[in-house]
Structure 1
């Protein structure tokens, strides 16, 4: 495959003319990191795409600014047969290059600084970093031994030999680093503690938080606190995993939410919204009501949102298009009511206090957020 011109075009698309990341993007043969991937077909099923058998489609996919899903559930595309149609959530991907560059810029990488790429995936960020600061300064970590070993081999074939680590970052992070960039969403509290502990004093981290689209950046102080902010930028990354797949979703509770009358029925104030794709609302919901899982579907002109929580709370809101929804709720918490409080604030003040908020991450991994008179924290036990 003649890939150099495609990589150069991609670099021009995703970087500024004076960016230090333009040359790394232009020099990485991204297609070699993604020989196979999963795509959703017209029937909504995950279907295998094999690059070598269709070089044109391979080149088009690899050098487009898009993410490519490489693992669904426990089945990696490398191990799949043509007729396989896995079910479940994506569990690994090759992140779209523009987002990789954004996260690297937030991390403020410099010559001579050690970097940890947390969330190896297909190895794209690691490859860019090796080009930029040299293999000896780059480490890459993932919980999945296959991802680590495969990325190691594919990077080596490109001439790169960074340090590759298999570990569960929510429990331990071997070594210490001047910079840490996370392309998975970390859970505040104990799940973030090991990562903060691996950052050298004076070092900088850029990460997102589980079930939010918030990019948190900060510098580590001598007392162990990380002081920074919520960037005025948002992304969506997969949750960190501690095993081969994510824990089962609250399937039974979603089934109840779809059918039951609930303890209360009311008319909602605001139209039904796809919470998962309303990133700022979703993020604030996680701040105020941690642990909520969300679902959304359409039936003709009828839109339905589901909210469920591990404590047994659930809510269902349904309406035709933008009509006021009928809301059913049950359990210890009124989840739709919690969401409406957030939407009240957004409508009243014109914005939520998240973006631009100050952040302090204590050594126990708890994130303290503040902006003006507003204060919140995430991850406390």
Structure 2
């Protein structure tokens, strides 16, 4: 494959003219890091694709600005039989290059900085860093031994040799660093990141189940201070084993239950997961809520919310009519959602983006913007 024209075109797409990241993208053969990948094949199902057997599709996919899923559940695309279909949640990927560059730019990486790349994945972000600041300044970690081995081999195949280690990113981390850039989401900030971040060093990460990008600089007390960027991104969350724990079907017991409280909602039924800001705000003020939405042929909309503490809500209405809302358990989840929507309508925005972020040495994050305050702790 003559990959260089493809890489040059990708670089022009994902970096502005004059960007220091344009050359690293242009000289990095992304296809080498994703010889096989998964693509959606129906609800919750994935079909494997083999790049070398279809060079044209391989080039199109590898040099597009899109994420390529490389692992579903415990099954690596590298290990799947040709054209096999599997079901499960994505557990690793080669992140879309534009987002990788976006996160690296937020990190303000500079010449001579030692950078920790959290979540090796395919190895592509480590390659960009190595091509930008030199391989000896780059350490990349991942919880998956096979991903680490494969990424190291593929980096070696293009002449790059950053340090690539099998490490649980939420536990102890070897070394110390000027920059930490995470391509995986966390909640809260792992204490180990703050421990290995050098004085005045910077970390960049996203918060699990939100679109929030937090940048923060190390403070003398061992914490960090920064902000929620006027930007957004979502990553898979950290995991410790082969797969994420199986989802408990919390909806079963309350699917059509009669509410302890039945009333009228202030706003139409919405598909919460199709929004960016509202579910992020909800995750900050009431973390751990699961959502389900459906709409029938007659325009009848039903949204369900449920939490492991036993709280639940079901809202039903036709079109944009005010919904009938059933709620039960210790909290009124639909009321929480409506309060957030009311703030959004009356203020024109939510106070998350642009908020100041104060991170304690324990990793707990305190957010403030104007009179609003929020706290992000472990669930």
Q: 1:302 & 1:59 partners in 2: Cα distance?
A: 43
Are positions 1:271 and 2:296 aligned together?
A: no
C-alpha separation between the residues in 2 aligned to 1:176 and 1:275? Answer: 40
The answer as to whether partners of 1:305 and 1:316 remain within 8 angstroms in 2 is yes
> In the aligned structure 1, how far is the partner of 2:123 from the partner of 2:207?
21
What is residue 292 of structure 1 aligned with on the other side? 289
**What SS does the aligned partner of 1:216 have?**
strand
For the residues of structure 1 that align with 2:345 and 2:301, how far apart are their CA atoms?
Answer: 21
How far apart, in 1, do the equivalents of 2:25 and 2:302 lie? 41
Among 180, 189, 202, which residue is 2:200 paired with?
Answer: 202
Which residue pairs with 1:315 in the alignment?
A: 313
CA distance in 1, matches of 2:52, 2:378: 48
Distance 1:255 1:175, change over 3 A: same
1:98 maps to 98
Using a 3 Å threshold, how does the CA distance of structure 1 residues 38 and 194 change in structure 2: closer, same or farther? same
CA shift for structure 1 position 174:
1.9
- Paired residue for 1:18? 18
Tell me which residue corresponds to 2:209.
211
- Deviation string 1:222-248 (CA, Å, 9 cap, x unpaired) is 211201000000111111111111112
Structure 2 distance, partners of 1:246, 1:262, is: 32
Aligned residues of 1:250 and 1:308 also touching (Cα < 8 A): no
Q: TM-score, with normalisation over the residues of structure 1? A: 0.95
Runs of 4+ with deviation above 6 angstroms: none
Distance 1:128 1:229, change over 3 A: same
Q: Which residue of 2 aligns with 1:74?
A: 74
In the TM superposition, residue 159 of structure 1 has moved relative to its aligned partner by: 0.6
* Residue of structure 2 in register with 1:58 after alignment: 58
Equivalent pair of 1:317/1:325 in contact (CA under 8 Å):
yes
What does residue 246 of structure 1 align with? Answer: 244
- The answer to whether the Cα contact below 8 Å between 2:38 and 2:77 also exists between their aligned partners in 1 is yes
The Cα shift of 1:380 comes to 6.1
Structure 1 residue 83: Cα displacement: 4.9
Aligned equivalents of 2:305, 2:151: Cα separation in 1: 37
1: CA distance, partners of 2:274 / 2:170: 26
Q: TM-score if structure 2 supplies the norm length?
A: 0.96
In the TM superposition, residue 43 of structure 1 has moved relative to its aligned partner by: 6.7
**Which residue in 1 is equivalent to 2:326?**
328
1:257 touches 1:306 (CA, 8 Å); kept in 2? no
Counterpart in the other structure of 2:112: 112
Report the CA distance between 1:44 and its aligned residue.
Answer: 6.2
RMSD across aligned positions (CA): 1.6
The yes-or-no answer on 1:159 pairing with 2:159 is yes
Q: Is the 8 A contact 1:30 1:63 kept in 2?
A: yes
In structure 2, stretches of 5+ residues that fail to align are none
Distance 2:179 2:259 in 1: 48
Corresponding residue SS for 1:234: coil
| Corresponding residue of 2:370 | 372
Offset of residue 312 of structure 1? 1.8
Residue 173 of structure 1 corresponds to 173
Would you say 1:341 and 2:339 are equivalent positions?
A: yes
Q: What is the DSSP-based 3-state SS (H/G/I as helix, E as strand, rest coil) of the residue aligned with 1:98?
A: helix
Displacement of 1:67 in angstroms is 0.5
Which position in structure 2 is the counterpart of 1:183?
183
